[in-house]
Amino acid sequence: MNILITGPPGVGKTTLLNKIKKKIKDMGYSTGGMYCPEIREGGRRTGFEIIDIASKQKGLLASTHNIKGPSVGKYRVNLDDINQIGVLALRNALKTSDYIFIDEIAPMELTSSSFSQTVWEVMESKKIVIAIIHQRSKHPFILKVKNREDAMIFDINLKNRDSLTDEILQNIASIG
């Protein structure tokens, strides 16, 4: 099963993902995958880290300070760290984790063809994948993921964000 969380920027998608991850860990299950928190300087977002959930290895996903790499908006994407940290985190999670978390499947990460291939492999597995997916993107891969028959999409907003943790956990329990 693939659980996809989508919603507008700043509504709490990553917070929701972290709450679900904590509850699953508290139940004794192992978690793996990757997440990409913001980097802020002087109150402004200047980039994103990429972190392996299991090993805690960190890298730089994208930054306004990068001078090389594909451009996505005002950011330059660091393909080396996507591949060496993000892709490796997902491959390791596929082998060793009960649940796989991805924050997020979005245009920056998708500048790496290895990332999209690995995400698809993970989603094809028998493992439960819980991923944040870019809401407005018309990227062909994102549309393909959203249209999977085994995907459950949860659209988070200000009204439902406090109740979605339990709703998603109930859906996971019903298949487990």
The distance of Cα 32 from the centroid of its chain, to the nearest Å, equals: 11
Q: Which residues pair with 31 in a beta bridge?
A: 99
Is 12 assigned to a binding site?
yes
Is 11 assigned to a binding site?
yes
Is 77 assigned to a binding site?
no
- Tally the residues of the chain: 176
Is 59 assigned to a binding site?
no
Is 7 assigned to a binding site?
yes
- Residue 119 DSSP SS3: helix
For residue 170, what are its two tokens? 């109930």
Q: What is the DSSP letter of 65?
A: S
| Residue 54 burial (CB count, 10 A) | 15
Is 9 assigned to a binding site?
yes
58-63 and 75-77 beta bridge pairing: antiparallel
Is 28 assigned to a binding site?
no
Q: Which residues are annotated as a binding site?
A: 7-14
Q: Which residues are annotated as a binding site for ATP?
A: 7-14
